[in-house]
Structure 1
């Protein structure tokens, strides 16, 4: 095991204070009188870039089945899991497969009907969240959906974190931002590990049981002209407990060109990003991840980071 430099170790930036991750009830948000819940959503997005979503309508038993199937796959013998390997012929690498972001193979091990059902259900949650976010910027509810394309892609990533003998020395997943529009996380209902960077400190995301976590990605940051921002987050490991999770990333159509929309650009908020091809962002993500940078910075898509900070302060002051 190769340990991180001392300043980058999980224990180095521990947050002593207990901060509460914001919670939004999706079932209340969708109601005509959901003004109070919309205010909670606005506050969560502006201050955290993520929130816990309750009232999503998916039965507990169904979510348990998803996590159980995930755990069972990772408990299979290595030779069985490697039938779904992302390496072809010992040399050619592909994005899909065991060992990378998602599992997708003709030699299917997981219950794919179960995954299909989950994809349909969580897709509805995603649409409801995007519609609510559009209303927060005083646009019609399909505003962001139309910007990223009605056939935008979703990717499922099943992750297994084994127990680690020295969890204070290594990350389970290094600090990063997502390049999605939004990410929906179904996390282990018994073991925590996800942390979000808040005001310079790493804050634990608590065990959520059967609730979901919605995380803003850099794609949304671009199409909202930095009204909504992607938070830095990471995963730390446990000395004696394994952990599983299922992340679903929603990304714009690959051949679509995205940028700050005219409706969200004005004198006080000039365009914060250049227009760019979605596929270019996707291709540059892993290079940016490898060096610990945001994709928009690595690819020089951001126009003025200093102005972005000033606008954020102005926005916070105005809302207060």
Structure 2
């Protein structure tokens, strides 16, 4: 049986005209509530032109990528080749879906017959207990690739064509980034692409954050790291909310317009032997504005064994993770997410935290 609150949509809760504060299920303890970041004005999210990364003589852009990956674990992507009109159309179709009547959206529900929860579909994230603090958002989670594994019954009609096209375009950008990351490690450009395999998995998460009367009390989306290899994020063009943990402080990611954001996932942290690290990030809400986002997650073939490759393991940098089945990481993600933990720590995959700590701040990419 699913939890009794599993079908309670945040958009419905937020629509209560008499709501002056979020229900207790969403309210964080005092020490975990969002705070203003005094240092955010001094910090600038790195920007990388992905169209220049394939140029063999463009050492400047490669250096920007190297710096972004080592210092932030994420970066803004320009030069991705997708038009403003196309991205606007995707965001507008997303907004239209979340503004549909509830009975229409429930046709894509992630709760089956009121008794079974599944990750795919429309609703809220999984609830495991009465004590779990819930996030102030609804989402639509869909598997995109391999294409023959799509479950189109969960795909809203108005998003199907756009999402198929966006899957192809975002996949192209992701592969370009993976090639550039491999070259930073002095490896062939197919190094990471070969690790994910031809039948790699990709998923989309459309997230809707309704206005919250007390945004200081809730998480839009709790602090987490992604269990992907790479995440590609298309964000609301008018409302900010994403924050990244940088040097112990939460820093706002600004509105990006037509640019995208690449976020390193735990899968990449494992296969790069922690040279590239998955950053903690979260979403805060607004008192009077709704916010949308579309995240694309890329994961290796589930039957593959994932672990630090031998060429990146040596005496000065021992293996930081155990080898494990990709499917094991995927299965453990939602448990870790609900607990506010990293999947690699929740599943005890990390084996060399002490060595990693010693190398922190001086781990260098090959040929740096």
Specify the TM-score bucket, using the shorter chain as the normaliser.
over 0.9
Contact map agreement 1:176 1:232 (CA 8 A) in 2: yes
Provide the residue aligned with 1:143 in structure 2.
Answer: 191
Q: Look up the match of 1:106.
A: 153
* 1:83-122 matched pairs, under 5 angstroms: 83-100=107-124, 102-103=141-142, 105-106=152-153, 108-122=156-170
The one of 10, 16, 26 aligned to 2:39: 16
Q: Root-mean-square deviation (CA), in Å? A: 1.7
> Partner residue of 2:270?
222
The match for 1:213 is 261
Residues 231, 264 of structure 2: 8 Å contact kept: yes
Per the normalisation by structure 1, the TM-score is 0.96
Match of 1:29 in 2: 53
Indicate whether 1:39 and 2:63 are aligned.
yes
C-alpha contact 1:254 1:279 (8 A) present in aligned 2 = yes
Q: Cα–Cα, structure 1 residues 292 and 52, in superposed 2: closer, same or farther, change >3 Å?
A: same
Q: Secondary structure at the match of 2:62?
A: helix
Pairing partner for 2:102 from 75, 78, 81:
78
Quick one: which of 70, 85, 101 aligns to 1:61?
85
1:139 to partner: Cα distance: 0.1
Aligned pairs (5 A) from 1:227-306: 227-306=275-354
Q: 3-state SS of the aligned residue for 2:123?
A: coil
- Please say if residues 271 and 306 of structure 2, whose CA atoms lie closer than 8 Å, have aligned partners that are also in contact: yes
Cα distance in 2 for residues equivalent to 1:294 and 1:319: 30
Query: Displacement, 1:306?
Result: 1.6
For structure 1, which segment, 2-11 or 187-196, has the greater mean C-alpha deviation from structure 2 after superposition?
Answer: 2-11
Counterpart selection for 2:203 from 151, 155, 159 = 155
CA distance in 1, matches of 2:300, 2:85: 31
Number of equivalences? 319
Q: Is the 8 A contact 1:21 1:52 kept in 2?
A: yes
How far apart, CA to CA, are the structure 1 residues paired with 2:152 and 2:106?
Answer: 11
**Residues in 2 aligned to 1:205 and 1:113: alpha-carbon distance in whole angstroms:** 29
Question: Would you say the 8 A contact 1:73–1:109 is kept in 2?
Answer: no
CA contact (8 A) 2:33 2:219 kept: yes
Gap regions ≥5 residues in structure 2: 1-22, 125-139, 143-150
Distance 1:74 1:317 in 2: 43
The answer to whether the 8 A contact 1:84-1:105 is kept is: no
Q: Is the 8 A contact 2:185 2:367 kept in 1?
A: no
1:110 Cα deviation after fit: 2.7
